[in-house]
């Protein structure tokens, strides 16, 4: 029994160390021209960095990667109300974070924060989600986590037990870490980055089965030579699952497109002729923001 416990503990410790190291690679230091700075998350491999608006102050910014490489950064957009900003660096093949769905968080879930508090590079702390949908000013909803962060953690990732980034740490309030939900960041980025175009016209419909009602997205029309057509979607298909999640809102599809990004892949489950089919759509970049 003691041998089993020892083996299990070793395996668990190794998994946590691997998760922490992966998150450290996804996290950068953000330095402003004025005093101060913070952390950021490599959101996309093509140089898109997400941080807090209050971190991205000043005309001259620099980003330091986990390997010590320092890059100049420019602010491409910011939202002070949500305390989120998008930076761009001239780089490619960066170790981008895996972005999670903040809507899946529940009180008690494990959470991890990575940042650079008080000059300590790549510090990792852990705790639990305290509240996942607390309302703030202007209708903003925040994640609260019972874990330790300090000045320098701002703009860094809040991750779940799988190492998926579900929030951007913003502040400390009442002893709790307060983070911007990842889904809020995705909606913010939708207006600042080119995202793939699926090439469909959809209509939300109610699906009823066994007395239960769920939401589906009816594919009403498909654009010729679009990613949707090339991926095998057909008019009349009803999208019932996007990735690992069932459809909960018409916004789920554009959110998934933004998360997948150019060159990514969208995994869908559709109802076709009364049967379920899995469809994988390879996404091309069209170089401009477009409707789903």
Q: Does residue 154 carry a catalytic annotation?
A: yes
Distance of CA 130 to the CA centre of its chain: 20
Q: Does residue 54 carry a catalytic annotation?
A: yes
Contacts of 110 (CB under 8 A, 6+ apart): 126, 127, 128, 129, 160, 161
By CB atoms closer than 10 A (0-12, 13-18, 19+), residue 29 is buried
Structure tokens at 34: 């004025």
DSSP E strand stretches across 136-274: 141-146, 157-159, 165-173, 176-181, 200-209, 212-222, 238-242, 245-246, 265-272
Residue 262 Ramachandran class (φ > 0 left, ψ -120 to 50 alpha, else beta): beta
Nearest to 282 by CA among 232, 243, 238, 218: 232
Please tell me which residue in 39, 102, 154, 170 is annotated as part of the active site.
Answer: 154
List phi, psi (to 5°) of 177: -80, 130
Give start and end residues of each alpha helix (H) in 132-240.
Answer: 182-189, 227-231
CA distance 29 to 76: 17
Task: Give whole-number Cα distances, 130 to 42, 91, 105, in Å.
Answer: 25, 36, 10
Please tell me which residue in 39, 46, 54, 102 is annotated as part of the active site.
Answer: 54
Q: Does residue 109 carry a catalytic annotation?
A: no
CA distance 19 to 163: 6
Please tell me which residue in 83, 227, 237, 252 is annotated as part of the active site.
Answer: 83
CA distance 193 to 46: 11
Query: What are the residue numbers of the active site?
Result: 54, 83, 154
């Amino acid at each position: 029994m003691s041998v089993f416990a020892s083996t299990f503990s070793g395996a668990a410790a190794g998994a946590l160390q691997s998760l922490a190291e992966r998150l450290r690679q996804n996290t950068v230091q953000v330095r402003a021209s004025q005093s101060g700075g913070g952390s950021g998350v490599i959101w996309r491999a093509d140089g898109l960095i997400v941080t807090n608006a209050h971190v991205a102050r000043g005309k001259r910014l620099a980003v330091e990667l986990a390997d010590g490489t320092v890059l100049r950064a420019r602010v491409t957009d910011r939202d002070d109300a949500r305390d989120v900003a998008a930076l761009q660096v001239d780089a490619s093949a960066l170790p981008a974070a895996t972005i999670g769905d903040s809507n899946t968080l529940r009180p008690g879930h494990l959470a991890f924060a990575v940042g650079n508090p008080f000059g300590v590079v790549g510090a990792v702390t852990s705790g639990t989600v305290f509240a996942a949908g607390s309302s703030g000013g202007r209708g903003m909803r925040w994640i609260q986590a019972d874990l330790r962060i300090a000045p320098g953690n701002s703009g860094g990732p809040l991750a779940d037990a799988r190492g998926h980034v579900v929030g951007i740490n913003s502040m400390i309030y009442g002893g709790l870490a307060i983070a911007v939900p990842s889904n809020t960041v995705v909606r913010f980025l939708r207006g600042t980055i080119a995202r793939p175009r699926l090439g469909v016209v959809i209509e939300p419909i109610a699906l009823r089965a066994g007395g239960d009602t769920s939401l589906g997205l009816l594919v009403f029309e498909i654009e010729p030579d679009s990613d949707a057509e090339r991926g095998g979607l057909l008019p009349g298909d009803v999208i019932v699952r996007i990735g690992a999640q069932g459809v909960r809102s018409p916004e789920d599809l554009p959110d998934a497109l933004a998360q997948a990004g150019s060159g990514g892949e969208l995994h869908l489950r559709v109802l076709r002729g009364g049967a379920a089919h899995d469809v994988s759509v390879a996404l091309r970049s069209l170089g401009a923001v477009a409707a789903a």
